[in-house]
Structure 1
Amino acid sequence: MKPKSIFSEEPHVVGKSQVEIGAYLAEVGGCHDCHTPGWAQAPGNVPEDQLLAGSPVGFSGPWGTSYPANLRVSVQASTAEEWADMMKDRNGLPPMPWSTVNHMSREDLMAIHAYINSLGEGGNDIPMAVTDGSGPHTAYIWFMPEPPENHAANR
């Protein structure tokens, strides 16, 4: 038996504006957790010029090292429709939850675009992913489980 999907093309959130809806979706969707530097240390208490500006701290695993993109750059480079289409079809490196993003409604994705676009240009230069085995070259989070005996030995 296949579980009934909660995903549909209908928007699930209503608000006063696309920007307000997008801000809500970005927060509950965890976008800031990786794409806003300092968010994990001070949720919601980050200067606006750093919101969704990307992070040079990588996530490393068997795929190499990936970096949380500066979403302001990708939004500025595309219309809401283009960005929503890209998000619906895109797959990439972990830990980005692409399967979740792919299932979002087009309207919800365009609301996220409106929110990010409202933040304006800016942000940080983010390193490109390293998949050739030569990295990581920056601070990183090792994104693989370790057996409990490794943890006990490192105390």
Structure 2
Amino acid sequence: MNLRRSTAVALLSLTPAMSAVAVEPVIAGSVPPDPERLARGEYLTRVSGCHDCHTPGYSQSAGQVPHDAWLTGDTTAWEGPWGTTFASNLRLTLLRFNDEQWLDYARSLRTAPPMPWFNLAAMSDHDLLSILTFVQWLGPKGEPAPPALAPGDTWIGPTIQFTHRSPD
């Protein structure tokens, strides 16, 4: 067998193995993201207040929460005229999005308080994608948030109450 034919046979024998690898799913946190995008995402989740609601104990401990607990949601209820809402587990929620889906979702999101959806919608694509990269890089952890409750339904657990104040 000549060298050219040997090389072709060797390459063809690798093709099934290489194609099998190409279709394997990517697990969040398993592929190193762009370091700049990752750092920007971490920075944005800190300074834009994501952790204040989505990381248990973050505000109470002046941000001194282990990284493995970051953005896992919280069971502290936010109660007001809209009913009762909970900070979602972003590490589970954001796993379902690719870049395009996340941008569409972030731009069309309309939630009950206290989530400032309008701030999220105002972010640049670069900033939104940086947040997505960082949260997906953290990987899945924790449980989904409790479902929202209708006005008048009560939550047995820690609750932050908002009152409606009419403009003077």
Q: TM-score, with normalisation over the residues of structure 2?
A: 0.73
Matching residue of 1:60 = 79
Q: Work out the CA distance in 2 between the residues paired with 1:85 and 1:137.
A: 35
In structure 2, what residue type is equivalent to 1:115? Answer: F
Matching residue of 1:24 = 43
Matching residue of 1:40 = 59
3-state DSSP of counterpart to 2:157:
coil
Q: Which structure is larger by alpha-carbon Rg, 1 or 2?
A: 2
Q: Work out the CA distance in 2 between the residues paired with 1:109 and 1:122.
A: 21
Q: Choose from 150, 153, 163 the match for 1:134.
A: 153
**How many angstroms does 1:83 deviate by?**
1.3
Contact 1:81 1:110 in 2 (8 A): no
In structure 2, what residue type is equivalent to 1:119? Answer: L
Write out the 4+ residue segments of structure 1 that deviate beyond 6 Å after TM superposition. none
Note the residue ranges of structure 1 that are not aligned, 5 or more in a row: 1-14, 147-155
Q: How does 1:1-155 map to 2 (within 5 A)?
A: 16-144=35-163
- Number of corresponding residues: 132
In structure 1, what residue type is equivalent to 2:77? Answer: G
Note the residue ranges of structure 2 that are not aligned, 5 or more in a row: 1-33
Contact 1:64 1:136 in 2 (8 A): no
Q: Work out the CA distance in 2 between the residues paired with 1:138 and 1:80.
A: 36
Q: Work out the CA distance in 2 between the residues paired with 1:23 and 1:119.
A: 10
**How many angstroms does 1:144 deviate by?**
2.1
Q: Work out the CA distance in 2 between the residues paired with 1:124 and 1:31.
A: 17
In structure 1, what residue type is equivalent to 2:101? Answer: E
- Root-mean-square deviation (CA, aligned residues, Å) is 1.7
Using the aligned pairs only, state the percent identity: 37
